[in-house]
Amino acid sequence: MHTKSISELARGLRAGDFSSLELTEHFLGRIKQHPKLNAYVTVTEQQALAQAQAADKRLAAGDPSLLLGLPIAHKDIFCTLGIKTSCGSKMLDNFIAPYNATVVDMLNAAGTVTLGKLNMDEFAMGSSNETSHYGPVKNPWATDCVPGGSSGGSAAAVAAGLAVAATGTDTGGSIRQPAAFCGITGLKPTYGRVSRYGMVAYASSLDQGGPMARSAEDAAILLQAMAGFDAKDSTSVDRAVPDYSAALTQPLAGLKIGLPKEFFNADLNSRIAAVLEAALAEYRTLGAETLPVTMPSLKLAIPAYYVIAPAECSANLSRFDGVRFGHRCENPTDLTDLYTRSRGEGFGREVKRRILMGTYALSAGYYEAYYIKAQKIRRLISEDFKRVLTEVDVIMGPVAPTTAFAIGEKIGNPMEMYLADIYTIAVNLAGVPALSVPAGFLDGKPVGLHIIGNYFAEGRLLNVAHQYQQVTAWHQHTPTL
């Protein structure tokens, strides 16, 4: 049952082939069988079984909700009432959320069953899921390799069949890069499309929640339940939510695909380039046209991001001080000692590094030189996307410069780790939507194709991905565990 799509499982539930309780027990059993993947921080078995029983009653009453009774899991950055929300950090290891994130409420209303909370890089800071207080998640395709980050637990759980689908968040590629490394479909929506209320903030102007699933069709179904205006989130956009599934079948004849020369240059691994070229050939067969484009500001994305994101992180994480919630040091001698030791003990090395970087960039004398300049570069990047997306329908390229790398390979070199997101970061700076779709394998490890669209064009992106998945089977491959 764990290899079936959302639509297949929904049909099975309505046909009486199995109950939600049986389906939930199957997934809970798989989680217990594969603890070494370390995908889950918390498994909510009793709650899941109760939700499954309630879903079975709704199914028996004829409730048509497509997600009703399906077991999913949440990245441990979404607040969940009465359940630990750790953000992968010692700082929040004892934090029990007193409310649900809006995304959690919306998926609960759709009838999903929550299996638990998924492991992640600490406070979403990382590209490998190695900065988690709970240890690294292992890639189900190669357990000596990382699953990507920061939504590595979500990607690994979906790929390994430990959840039907999962929620993730993306600040600089944290849905798309792990989706690529684990061979699943992951979508970062337009900034403001999905509520950020109850999603613990890393960089408020960049963070965005989104769906992670096996296929574009499954991602469309999940996004339908997640998207929408939320008055509790000041960054939420009041815009009607289209029927994402209805757009999936649109043919691709006449589709214009832009290929930025900044992506397809000598720096791109030639073997990854060959996989992407095979995917592009499939699109040409489907009637699409590929066109070269140029986006000169893309080369500035990494330095701009690593000023803006740490600056926002420095502000957002100042609330974790040992006073109101979270980790508190023992026997502080005074207030300064309380702050210093609580934060020193509670935060990991990468989080501390980014707080220091951000505080420096915001400090007197450097604010204009770094932060303001980075924001000006951000505007240039946005203008590049706006210009190119008037010439083409979508942009395509690589998701990451490599396939999944070995655990421990890059963790000691922050600069090398930051470059793992070189192809994804610009999307967050501009706020446009993008997804990763499985496009092949290299040495037994998945490769993702990056598809970027215009603002609020999630339906078109999902359509483009779905049509590709109708003529390829990369998304149907599952790891042997």
| Tens digit of each residue's pLDDT (9 = 90 or more) over 380-431 | 999 999 999 999 999 999 999 999 999 999 999 998 999 899 999 999 999 9
Among residues 89, 128, 174, 342, the one annotated as catalytic is 174
Q: Residue 390 has what pLDDT? A: 97
Q: Is the pLDDT of residue 1 over 90?
A: no
* CA atoms of 40 and 153, how far apart (whole Å): 7
Instruction: For residue 453, name the pLDDT band (cuts at 50, 70, 90).
Output: very high
pLDDT by residue (tens digit) across 41-74? 999 999 999 999 999 999 999 999 999 999 999 9
CA-wise closest residue to 12 among 54, 58, 69: 69
In the predicted model, what is the mean pLDDT of residues 451-464?
98
In the predicted model, what is the mean pLDDT of residues 350-364?
95
Q: Is the pLDDT of residue 340 over 90?
A: yes
Residue 174 appears among annotated catalytic residues = yes
pLDDT by residue (tens digit) across 36-48? 999 999 999 999 9
Instruction: For residue 267, name the pLDDT band (cuts at 50, 70, 90).
Output: confident
In the predicted model, what is the mean pLDDT of residues 211-232?
98
Q: Residue 266 has what pLDDT? A: 83
In the predicted model, what is the mean pLDDT of residues 8-36?
97
Mean per-residue pLDDT over the chain, rounded: 97
Q: Residue 165 has what pLDDT? A: 98
Cis previous bond, 174, omega within 30: no
Tokens of 89: 């950090």
Per-domain boundaries in the chain:
6-254+401-413+432-476
Percent of the chain with pLDDT over 90: 97
* CA atoms of 188 and 435, how far apart (whole Å): 6
Instruction: For residue 477, name the pLDDT band (cuts at 50, 70, 90).
Output: very high
pLDDT by residue (tens digit) across 370-394? 999 999 999 999 999 999 999 999 9
In the predicted model, what is the mean pLDDT of residues 320-330?
94
CB 114 within 8 A of CB 43: no
Output the pTM of the full model. Answer: 0.96
Tokens of 49: 């079984």
* CA atoms of 152 and 320, how far apart (whole Å): 24
Tokens of 53: 């029983």
Q: Residue 349 has what pLDDT? A: 96
Instruction: For residue 28, name the pLDDT band (cuts at 50, 70, 90).
Output: very high
Owner of token pair 């994130």: 101
Q: Residue 21 has what pLDDT? A: 98
CATH number of 6-254+401-413+432-476: 3.90.1300.10
Among residues 86, 150, 236, 245, the one annotated as catalytic is 150
Percent of the chain with pLDDT over 70: 100
pLDDT by residue (tens digit) across 171-213? 999 999 999 999 999 999 999 999 999 999 999 999 999 999 9
Among residues 20, 75, 342, 436, the one annotated as catalytic is 75
